[in-house]
Amino acid sequence: MSDAQNQIKETVTTNDVVLFMKGTKMMPQCGFSSRVAGVLNFMGLEYTDVNVLADEAIRQGIKEYSDWPTIPQLYVKGEFVGGCDIITEMMLSGELDTLFEENGVTFNKDAADQIRAANA
């Protein structure tokens, strides 16, 4: 396994929630990353952000690690959850709340409900 693969594995297994994204959670550098980070930020979720633009080996390595071609990518408790479209669908259906609850990840349920209400 390459150094990038080892670094990715360590990151996703030692942090409860990880978002591999373009930019940072405070300054996303693409619309898709901005959407996912915006949802997680609004929900008050504590998560680790990894800026793939800062390291080409990580940018390519995460695509190989997950066998998923696009960024952003969300991991919860070491498991790949999905990219922007999947996270958006899970948010609106309530599946994301369930995933966080089942994994003991703290988030603001009222904020999650507000997102759903605003998109109804």
**Residue 14, domain extent:** 3-118
Annotated binding site: 30
Annotated binding site for [2Fe-2S] cluster: 30
* DSSP secondary structure, 29-70, as one string: SSHHHHHHHHHHHHTT---EEEEGGG-HHHHHHHHHHHT--S
**Statement: the pTM of the whole predicted model exceeds 0.85:** yes
- The set of residues, in sequence order, having a beta carbon less than 8 Å from that of 92 and lying 6+ positions away, is 115, 116, 119
Q: Which phi and psi angles does 73 have, rounded to 5°? A: -135, 130
Q: d(Cα 25, Cα 102) in Å, to the nearest integer? A: 24
**pLDDT level of residue 2 (50, 70, 90 thresholds):** confident
Q: d(Cα 92, Cα 120) in Å, to the nearest integer? A: 8
Number of domains in the chain: 1
Contact status, residue 77 vs residue 47, Cβ threshold 8 Å: no
CATH of the domain at 106: 3.40.30.10
Quote the percentage of the chain above a pLDDT of 90: 97
Token representation of residue 118: 């605003």
Mean pLDDT of the chain: 96
According to the model, what pLDDT value does residue 1 have?
Answer: 61
pLDDT digits (tens, 9 = 90+) for 12-54: 999 999 999 999 999 999 999 999 999 999 999 999 999 999 9
The mean per-residue pLDDT over the stretch 48-71 comes to 96
